[in-house]
Amino acid sequence: ATAEAIQTTEDYMWAGLVLIRDADSISASSGHPRSTLEALQTLIVKYGAAHFDPSGNSPLLYLRVLLLCGLFEDAAEYLLQIDRFQIEGVHMAALLAYFGLLSVPSPVYSRAMVQYARALADDGADESAVHYLLLLTLPSSEMHDECVRALTKLLYEHRDYARLLGDIQADGTRRRGFLEHYLPLLGISTPEQFAQTIVRKLADRSRDEGRLADAVLLYNLAERYNTVLNVLCRQLGEALYQTGIEAVSEVEGVARAVLEHYQQREHIARVLDERAVSTCSTLLAVTEFVASHSRGAYEEALELIASTQLLPLDGDVVASASQHAERVRTLDDSITRNFSLVLLTAMDTLSRIYAGLRESPFLDAIKQAKMQDLR
- Name the β-bridge partners of 166: 176
Under a CB-based contact definition with an 8 Å cutoff, are residues 325 and 286 in contact?
no
For residue 53, what pLDDT band results from cuts at 50, 70 and 90?
confident
| Three-state secondary-structure class, residue 242 | helix
Using a pLDDT cut of 90, give the percent of the chain over it: 50
Q: At residue 336, what is the residue type?
A: T
Check: CB of residue 78 under 8 Å from CB of residue 87.
Answer: no
Q: In this predicted structure, what is the pLDDT of residue 3?
A: 55
Residue 317 has pLDDT above 70, yes or no: no
Residues 153-188: tens digit of each pLDDT: 999 999 999 999 998 876 667 888 999 999 999 999
pLDDT digits (tens, 9 = 90+) for 203-240: 999 999 988 889 999 999 999 999 999 999 998 998 88
Helix (H) or strand (E) run with residue 167 in it: strand 166-168
pTM: 0.77
CA–CA gap between residue 225 and residue 259 (Å, rounded)? 10
Residue 1: the pLDDT is 40
pLDDT band at 318 (very low <50, low <70, confident <90, very high): low
Give CA–CA dist 154/158, Å, rounded: 6
Task: Please report the sign of the dihedral spanned by the C-alpha atoms of residue 210, residue 212, residue 213, residue 215.
Answer: positive
Q: Confidence band (pLDDT; 50, 70, 90) for 36?
A: confident
Whole-number pLDDT of residue 374: 47
Query: Rg of the Cα trace of the chain?
Result: 35
Q: Which residues contact 1 (CB under 8 A, 6 or more apart)?
A: none
CB-based contacts of 244, cutoff 8 Å, min separation 6: 290, 341
